[in-house]
Chains A and B, each alone.
Chain A
């Protein structure tokens, strides 16, 4: 018996701690921590430095100061802003959870019709450029949008909706992140064991009871992890609060910070101080979450015993479920897409009215096809995002396994891999720029630098997908492999990765699709030869070529959809073997 096992037998806590570090698994933990530290700590150090120093005119760090932190609390409307931020972040999280979660359960666990539509909605809406999506909603719900127009035609006065308000922000942000929830939870539900649901149904439980007492409880750690994650994301979001809130004078904690990053050159101290506060908050939240999911084995439903997920028969309710899929399609995709189509076929931005039909034109599409540079931009973008999605998923698969199995340093691994979530894109961009400029080999301005930056930025997303996936797989499968002589890498490769494949695929797809939209880092890190599509689209937006932007954005979303779907269905077919379907 090894020394470690003896200690474990004696129940000495120190020994147990040492055991977690012993053997090949310890080496795997250490090397994962080392890789994560190399990726995450340098940007964190830059963030800390910027938050604590004045910036000189030549960009160098000046005197130490606590001014940036003081500024956070100097906001004259601090309480209103904080309250708005909390309401915004929690309500938007709720919208995403309700939409994405319900849909994921229906698609993965039931025999509802129209399932492919739910995937299509998710992929196309994630592939649609961010600016376009928000603009489309502002256009639809705005003063001259079809809803307010119809209201006036029916004899109403004033506005039916004022989109430039807190609820407008909540709806748009909620829709924006519901695909993330859908992808993550659909992976969880797919790997859930149907036996318990069937047993509940056979014992006479109603559909609602079964969902409430079995399906939701089983996915609880995944739901909680994701709710936390989306909440943090919403709390530090800049774009929607600024784009939607500013015209309505609704201020959030991040409003002033965004404005500071638009100065020439950007004032990053304020944003960095806010991020450092968020780092602490996220650290505490992750620790609390660690406690909640401590007994995560209770939730593992992928076990060694005849695991065979089957869809759940909804009976006549399956048509209602299909209706929900259709409603989700209409709200998350159909409406904004219609608005974008309208804008892309209009000669200039005009309200959706019958009179406008006569002036529809193809000129925006012709203009897009007349710019050959878009081809190389598309190539760059696909290359960079595919590479970073793959790298991020590779790293986080190992990291999530170590964290979920509470190997040595599990908490450290989780914290490190989640940290980049709170780095604002522009701050991470500046940090990467500094690092690349000091690198002894040519890195600055290359596609590799972009891929590296994207990998760091999107690691937290990969982590959430992989982590929730690992929690569902019961240890007994890995222990069996261990007994049969497999080392940790063997266990990972032969047991964990195949069973985890639905989660990993969803994670890859998500990073691939949202990475293509990343702007602030792409602008700072790209050289003249490594520009990406998002930069070109931003260019069109700033120049007010809304029609051309919509045309290009729709074509781009189409291309991303084709790529993502092809990847997804090929990979899913090969992973289906692991689940026997």
Chain B
């Protein structure tokens, strides 16, 4: 049997071939309009050197005369800027992305729906049906362990193993209060175990005195690597692979369920360069743009592009995941944050 992701790849490859000719013809009017606009502004939560710059280079090469101006902003700063710029009637950005951003922008009515043709083959969890957002890439949040401190026979195989008294005070996570932090973990536990069993597990886990580190998930992983703590929760699994390849004593643990987060991006309402914005969105989501993600060891959201290491995804078969979409976040984040504050802070 062909695994789902592979099948999707074949289907979309066929679709691409079929759609290629008419798509180009339809695009020409948009390309001309975008050229007249001359530039495109992107407020991004991604890393400049790894993603923003390479994508901008590829885009500018493909569409000469349209300059990409990227600004690196966290979700909270991007929300503040986009919302205030809209209120002053001076929108500056054309497109945005950020893990915790889109639902706040939707609440402020600053998102323009746009269904990119590049995303036609995306699975439903990776795009909004009305076109408010599409996943630029996927994040898988899992546990990671320091291999010097955690011998092979003691490596936790399930979430329940984390309750072993030997880990008390030795588990660490970020204090980021988004779905990419403890609230996302809480959401995944409640979704997979059910409310009652889930809360019981969380209460026991809180007794392990998990250390809250006021920094990003990547910094938490570095503290595990340097041996300050044995186990990190809610770390990006591709980061462990990158560091282990450089010789760091770390491995990610396929504990089920992991948290699967789409990184949603979209078009800003009343964008100053709407055509160039759409063109850049199409490019980022296309197999070409997704190859940049892949080469930076990110997990592409376009099913046509496989990640460098397919076992990093649930479809690799070693673990299951709970997908937390921007809609889930909009509805339940406050409730998860409250549980975090009550039990873990």
Contacts and interface: CB of A to CB of B under 8 A. Distances in A.
Given A433-B84, A544-B219, A265 B48 contact: no
B49 A142 contact: no
B12 interface: no
A347 B101 contact: no
A477 interface: no
Contacts of A351: 226-227
Contacts of A13: none
B234 to A, nearest CB: 14
Nearest to A239: B214
A58 B83 contact: yes
Contacts of A72: none
A536 B48 contact: yes
Given A434-B84, A444-B92, A544 B221 contact: yes
Given A58-B87, A59-B83, A433-B84, A349 B214 contact: no
A143 B227 contact: yes
B79 interface: yes
| Chain A interface SS verdict (over half) | loop
Interface in A325-364: 347-351, 359
Interface in A535-566: 535-536, 539, 541-544, 546
Interface string B36-48: 0000010000011
B71 A259 contact: no
Given A262-B76, A262-B177, A264-B75, A543 B218 contact: yes
B211 interface: yes
A542 B219 contact: yes
A528 B69 contact: yes
A261 B175 CA distance: 13
A39 B49 CA distance: 36
A144 B108 contact: no
A246 B175 contact: yes
Interface stretch (A81-89, A272-280, A399-407, A519-527): A519-527
A242 B176 CA distance: 13
B84 A264 contact: no
Nearest to A531: B71
Given A437-B88, A444-B92, A544-B239, A247 B212 contact: yes
A410 interface: no
B197 interface: no
B246 interface: yes
Contacts of B200: none
Contacts of A265: 76, 79-80, 83, 104
A9 interface: no
Contact of B90 (A247, A444, A526, A543): A444
Interface in A345-391: 347-351, 359, 371, 373
B227 A144 contact: yes
Contacts of A242: 214
B72 A264 contact: no
Contacts of A156: none
Contacts of B279: none
Contacts of B100: 264
B247 A359 contact: yes
Contacts of A535: 72
B247 A347 contact: yes
Contacts of A243: 214-215
Given A262-B76, A523-B73, A544-B221, A59 B228 contact: no
22 contacts: A58-B83, A58-B86, A58-B108, A142-B226, A144-B226, A246-B213, A247-B211, A264-B178, A347-B248, A348-B225, A349-B248, A350-B248, A433-B81, A434-B84, A523-B73, A523-B77, A528-B70, A541-B215, A543-B50, A544-B218, A544-B222, A546-B222
The 5 closest A-B pairs by CB, nearest first: A544-B218, A528-B69, A437-B88, A265-B79, A59-B83
Given A265-B83, A266-B76, 15 more contacts: A58-B109, A58-B110, A59-B108, A246-B212, A264-B178, A348-B222, A348-B248, A349-B222, A349-B226, A350-B226, A528-B69, A528-B71, A529-B69, A542-B219, A544-B221
